Amino acid sequence: MISFALSPQQKQIKELVHWFAQHEVRPLALEADRLGRVPEEWLQKVNKMGIQLNTSSFGGGRSASAAGQKPEKKEREGNRVAVIAAEELAWGCPAIALSLPGPGLGGPPIQSSGTPEQKQRFLSIFTKDEPRWGAYALTEPEAGSDASGIRTTARKVDGGYVLNGQKIFITNGARASWVVVFATVDPKLGRAGHRAFVVEKGTPGFTATRTVHKMGLRANETAELVFEDCFVPAENLLGGEELYSAPAHQPSGFQVAMKTFDSTRPIVAAMAVGIARAAYEYTLEIVRRDYPKQGRLYYEAAELLAEAEQEIEAARLLTWEAAWKADIGEANAMEAAICKAVAGKMALHVCAMCLELLGPVGLDGHLVEKLYRDVKVFDIFEGTQQIQRLVTARRLYAPYGVHV
């Protein structure tokens, strides 16, 4: 049975990351939101401290069926460490957490599907010398939740592929040293035609056209990427040609993308838990301090906050389960979808409730108002509520031969 007690190492990591979130991240949160960016000098400082958003080693470890292979049933802690740390960082500020240097969401597909040479080449650049970022580009104007509908094309030529298309809402996309890009060799092949490429910054034909102004996560860079006759050498095809021609499982770029979500959805869920917890704790302190200790309003607030505590705890435990299953080498696609759906919806509800309880204290320029704007996307990216229900339903009905 899964243990809900943190190991001494996990407790230490939780305490260290919380200290960083409390003393380095939270004090910067409102100003970074107002400016719409994280100060470069701060990013330089934390990079020298060795703090990075690295979902490859900091978590996001290979799930059971990544790249069609089943790992040994040997328990690890990488995924659990990731969700513990992600919750604390998001408690400080989710936009700043997503802006930390490191491979970010681009790390897991390289870690799970890349060749040894690709792992060395693309992941070894993240050192303390200077801040560097990686990125993950799947979403397109006509293919968001339906990732199978991507239209960015990859035409095979001598020595590699030529990419044409557009990607939108790409976290750290303009500053990234490389981007994991999903494209199709033939739209008629559907998912079987998908391939994953690592496109390096400065490649001719690859441009970041603009960064996007958003309702929330304003301090985090979100870019649109354009590929116009962009030549990508064959050695940048993630996993190499043999990965896509192996007769045992015949994977596609679509499968690489979906297996990435099995690792990253629990991290996103953990960040939603951290945002909800931040709003809840801030509101609880205000209520305890400022509300009259007797009277209807005090007791109504206490009841609502108790409900918030229950919802946060439930979402956290679902998230830990999904991370634990990945760590022991078991398929966790359904658990990853469930925790992401529950945590996103929960965090929306808790932040809205806290905003209502605070009244004028929660207006523009205050922490909970910012968290309320930030949290909305956690119910959308990495798959909407509808997508998570579809993933869950497919796995519930699959044993009965019913396709959903």
Beta bridge partners of 135: 179
- Evaluate whether 302 touches 287 at the Cβ level (below 8 Å): yes
The secondary structure element, H or E, covering residue 35 is: helix 26-35
R_g over Cα of the chain: 21
> Which residues have a Cβ under 8 Å from the Cβ of 61 and sit 6 or more positions away?
76, 78, 79, 82, 111, 263, 326, 327
Please state, as a whole number, how many other Cβ atoms lie within 10 Å of the Cβ of residue 328.
16
> Which residues have a Cβ under 8 Å from the Cβ of 260 and sit 6 or more positions away?
105, 108, 109, 112, 136
Q: Write out the two tokens for 23.
A: 């003393």
The secondary structure element, H or E, covering residue 119 is: helix 116-123
Angstrom distance (rounded) from CA 402 to CA 83: 33
Query: DSSP letters along 183-241, please?
Result: EES-GGGGGGGEEEEEEETT-TTEEEEEE---SS-TTS-EEEEEEEEEEEEGGGBTT-H
Query: DSSP letters along 270-285, please?
Result: HHHHHHHHHHHHHHHH
Angstrom distance (rounded) from CA 146 to CA 306: 37
The catalytic residue positions are: 382
Amino acid at 124: S
